[in-house]
Amino acid sequence: MKLKPNYDPKKVIAERTQGIIDLTRYIEKIKKNILVFKEAIQKEKNEMKKTEGMIKVLKKDIKEAKKFL
């Protein structure tokens, strides 16, 4: 294996180690974002169920009101 004369293995090791640290932190940030999105999705699903329930009640009211026409 040929190395360039200005190749400094200590510098490469230090830079790559820092890169690994930075990328590991980035992965942790992504994991936290995923948790936030999961919570938001669950809240939206709950809101959807609530809204669907409201629609059901309104449709029932319309059906009952039609009986008096």
Gap between the Cα atoms of 59 and 47, Å rounded? 18
Q: Tens of pLDDT along 10-30?
A: 999 999 999 999 999 999 999
Q: Tens of pLDDT along 36-61?
A: 999 999 999 999 999 999 999 999 99
Written as six digits, the tokens of 15 are: 């830079």
Is the pLDDT score of 3 beyond 80?
Answer: no
Query: For the whole prediction, is pTM greater than 0.95?
Result: no
Gap between the Cα atoms of 19 and 66, Å rounded? 69
Which pLDDT score, from 0 to 100, does residue 5 have?
81
% of the chain surpassing 90 pLDDT: 87
